[in-house]
Structure 1
Amino acid sequence: MFADTRETGFVNAITAAGVTYAVTRACTMGHLVECSCDKMTSKGNRLDKLTRTVEMEKSLPNEGDWEWGGCGDNVKFGFKKSRDFMDAPYRKRSDIKTLVKLHNNNAGRLAIRDYMSTECKCHGLSGSCTVRTCWRKMPAFRDVGNRLKESFDGAAKVIPSNDGHSFITEGPTIKPPDRFDLIYSEDSPDFCKPNRKTGSLGTQGRRCNSTSQGVDGCELLCCGRGYDTRVVKEKISCECRFRWCCEVTCNTCLVKKTVNTCR
């Protein structure tokens, strides 16, 4: 089993989210015989309390008449299949590695299930919206990834609790991790230098952004070793024109670019 670093936690979470997303989308598209899209029939605000979330409350129509209809994303089925596929081999174990993995898997699935949005279509004469039909839709997977990246940045380190079946945070923290947060139990290795054991190639020679304060910035990516700057010429497509019908023709231009690489 891989080390339980915050990087591994992110990979587990995004993988569980990906399985949930793919299965749910396949249900909606009719590609699976075991499921179909979610055809909710409850009207108005009478909604199953088990499926109600804060984000869902915010996206519900609050004006005019509306009813559930259309073909929504069957996230319940996708959530269940992801859990069966990702968690089943570990359910009978309670070591810290298993607890961390199951927690991060669930956090990945929740990043989809608990952030569903409501979309509606208007019905009425002359484009009026006297009645609306609404259905549930998954967030864009890029939004899911961004949400999990934020959880990765704020991941909490945990240790086994005395009962042997749960975990607690190691040292003081702003708040204990909840279901949506990512956790880890082992510190990450040094990715600055090459390491055959971990598969890290190091950051020497990597391109970096001298003006960025983020992870792509030279200060962080080069691990304080500094960076070299050079000007290079690159060929790009330019002066493109559309010709009837139907092609685009371009010229080739040489442009100068400033490239920074880690020492």
Structure 2
Amino acid sequence: MRPVVIAACLLLLAPITDSWWASGSAVILDPRMICKKNRRTRGRLAQICRNETGLLKEITKGVTLGATECAHQFRNRRWNCTTQRRSMRKILMRDTRETGFVNAITAAGVTYSITRACTAGSLLECSCEKGAPKPRRGRESVTLPPSQVPTERWQWGGCSDNVRFGLKKSREFMDSRYRKRSDIKTLIKLHNHNAGRLAVKNNMKMECKCHGLSGSCTLRTCWWRMPTFREVGDRLRDRFEGAAKVIASNDGDSFMPESPSIKKPGKKDIIYSEESPDFCSANLKTGSLGTLGRQCNISSAGTDSCDQLCCRRGYKETSVRDTENCNCQFKWCCEVICETCYVKRNIQTCL
């Protein structure tokens, strides 16, 4: 299995023991292996392991999807959602906002993959949702042009993404081992799992197609579709930017904002309880790989700028020779012929 799958799932699939919180997990991130290591597991997880092999395959795809999106969203940051296993393992032992994002995007990926498989007919346990799409909060029917205004003969059709099944199976596989615990790390983990799922559920879109003579729209086929997973990743990245730091409540069964002046985080928000390292220098204890040798952007003012990414240590500039198409000509009909030109460009890497 690819390293990206291994890195993203360490937190998701690790056994829930007190020693794990202290020392991390070295579980090989293959759901089949997890099932082998949990033969004594009871309940829904055991049923999935024994009877739903197709579902396990989709869970693996979902983990890969989440890990790939994590790497994309953090590609220009000091911490770039590395697939280096030892580093990720140390990151996930802590309870930082980076850990929260990994939990959220992985839960979203598992939900997304299972739901997509239902619509495609790849799972025996589910199918798409047929019939009239039910109005979702804040998403009523789209406005129709005059020629498509419903008449007495107007009716519904369509086949929607079965996100309810995806949500259910994602919860069963990812949350079942943690539900009987109420320590702050578990509460934060479950909250961020749910935030990831809501990033899929709450952003479903209605798509419609009209049928009938002369645009009469006597039949309007509508269905609910999930957003692209890039949109899911973008929304969770925004939640990461505004993540809220929390502490355990006095009742021992919930959490609250670290400061009374901070608004209590909602279900869609990412939360954490530990401050992140700066990720500037390599540190085996925190899992930071540092930014030495990372390529930066001298013309940027964002997180990939040489000042930000190199932690103001400076950078070196080197020239590299690259190729590009040039002197392109259109040849009748219908071909474009180009020459290959060599160009020099400068790249900056952190010291």
Q: TM-score range by the shorter chain?
A: 0.7 to 0.9
- Quote how far apart the aligned CAs of 1:209 are: 1.0
Equivalence for 1:8: 99
Separation in 1, partners of 2:329, 2:270: 49
Q: Could you say which structure has the higher strand fraction?
A: 1
CA deviations over 1:96-127 (Å, ceiling 9, x no partner) = 10000000000000001011110001112134
- Quote how far apart the aligned CAs of 1:26 are: 0.3
CA deviations over 1:42-90 (Å, ceiling 9, x no partner) = 7xxxx4xxx7222x23xx2244226442111000000111111111110
Pair 1:82–1:243, CA change in 2 (3 A): farther
Q: Does 1:95 align with 2:183?
A: yes
- Quote how far apart the aligned CAs of 1:233 are: 2.0
- Counterpart of 1:12, as a letter, is N
- Quote how far apart the aligned CAs of 1:196 are: 2.2
Equivalence for 1:143: 231
CA deviations over 1:214-249 (Å, ceiling 9, x no partner) = 221112111122222333322345556799999987
Pair 1:98–1:243, CA change in 2 (3 A): farther
Q: Does 1:180 align with 2:264?
A: no
Equivalence for 1:260: 348
- Quote how far apart the aligned CAs of 1:132 are: 1.7
Separation in 2, partners of 1:248, 1:198: 53
- Quote how far apart the aligned CAs of 1:210 are: 1.6
CA deviations over 1:116-145 (Å, ceiling 9, x no partner) = 110001112134445422111000100000
Separation in 2, partners of 1:37, 1:242: 47
Separation in 2, partners of 1:23, 1:76: 10
Pair 1:133–1:235, CA change in 2 (3 A): same
TM-score of the pair, normalised by structure 1? 0.87
Q: Does 1:79 align with 2:167?
A: yes
Does the CA-based 8 Å contact 2:208-2:222 persist in structure 1? yes
TM-score of the pair, normalised by structure 2? 0.66
Give the match's secondary structure for 2:176: helix
Does the CA-based 8 Å contact 1:3-1:186 persist in structure 2? yes
- Counterpart of 2:142, as a letter, is P
Q: Pick from 116, 129, 142: which aligns with 1:61?
A: 142
RMSD over aligned CA atoms reads: 2.4
Does the CA-based 8 Å contact 2:192-2:271 persist in structure 1? yes
Give the match's secondary structure for 1:119: strand
Give the match's secondary structure for 2:177: helix
Pair 1:231–1:62, CA change in 2 (3 A): same
Q: What is the identity percentage for the equivalent residue pairs of Structure 1 and Structure 2? A: 63
Runs in 1 of length 4+ with deviation above 6 angstroms? 240-249
Separation in 2, partners of 1:239, 1:147: 42
Does the CA-based 8 Å contact 2:157-2:220 persist in structure 1? no
Give the match's secondary structure for 2:160: coil
Separation in 2, partners of 1:83, 1:67: 35
Does the CA-based 8 Å contact 1:68-1:135 persist in structure 2? no
Does the CA-based 8 Å contact 1:73-1:137 persist in structure 2? yes
Q: Pick from 37, 48, 52: which aligns with 2:136?
A: 52
Pair 1:180–1:241, CA change in 2 (3 A): farther
Equivalent residues, number: 253
Equivalence for 1:32: 123
Does the CA-based 8 Å contact 1:67-1:134 persist in structure 2? no
Which stretches in structure 2 are left out of the alignment for 5+ residues?
Answer: 1-20, 22-92
- Quote how far apart the aligned CAs of 1:176 are: 1.8
Separation in 2, partners of 1:172, 1:235: 57
- Quote how far apart the aligned CAs of 1:256 are: 1.7
Q: Could you say which structure has the higher helix fraction?
A: 2
Higher relative contact order (CA 8 A, sep 6+): 1
Separation in 1, partners of 2:332, 2:289: 49
Separation in 2, partners of 1:98, 1:243: 64
Separation in 2, partners of 1:154, 1:111: 15
Give the match's secondary structure for 1:120: strand
Separation in 1, partners of 2:255, 2:281: 32
Does the CA-based 8 Å contact 2:132-2:222 persist in structure 1? no
- Quote how far apart the aligned CAs of 1:22 are: 0.3
- Counterpart of 1:218, as a letter, is C
